[in-house]
């Protein structure tokens, strides 16, 4: 049996801004364009003229290669409902994790996230700048 990798894609309004938030959240970095392209613009141009309602995008990856690639694609319609899949940002279980959970939640609040609920001693439910929900936990 072959194990397959997955990418996670966010439909969004402002791809670069949202990618910037998730860089802070996860420590990810910009993903270079696929070979043989030297820029994302050249790569995108290889698909032909974009559709009139087609927006931009941004791509991130885990610099250690362990986590999934993240894609952020601009779409014309706004988010209208609670997401059915969310990410858990894990700070690690070593030592006493609750202070690290709170510190990460504060860092992400300062980067544009919102705290939705705090479950003392366990996790913090947050939303990114476009309202996508996620948790900060050990």
Grouped pLDDT means (10 residues each) for the chain, 138 residues = 89 96 98 92 82 81 96 90 90 94 98 98 97 96
What's the pTM value of the predicted model, to 2 decimals? 0.89
Cα separations in angstroms, 80 against 18, 45, 102, 120:
17, 31, 28, 29
Amino acid 52: pLDDT: 65
Distance in angstroms (rounded) separating the CA atoms of residues 45 and 41: 6
Quick one: pLDDT at residue 53? 60
Predicted confidence at residue 65, as pLDDT, reads 94
Is the distance from CB of 44 to CB of 50 less than 8 angstroms?
Answer: yes
């Amino acid at each position: 049996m072959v194990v397959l990798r997955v990418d996670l894609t966010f439909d969004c309004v402002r791809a670069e801004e949202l990618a910037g938030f998730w860089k802070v959240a996860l420590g990810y970095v910009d993903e270079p364009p696929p070979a043989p392209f030297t820029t994302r613009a050249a790569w995108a141009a290889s698909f032909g003229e974009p559709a009139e309602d087609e927006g931009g995008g941004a791509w991130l990856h885990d610099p250690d290669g362990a986590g999934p690639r993240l894609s952020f694609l601009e779409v014309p319609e706004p988010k209208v409902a609670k997401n059915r899949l969310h990410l858990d940002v894990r700070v690690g279980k070593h030592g006493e994790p609750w202070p690290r959970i709170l510190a990460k939640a504060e860092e992400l609040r300062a980067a544009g996230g919102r705290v939705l609920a705090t479950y003392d001693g366990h996790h913090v439910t947050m939303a990114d700048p476009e309202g996508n929900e996620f948790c900060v936990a050990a």
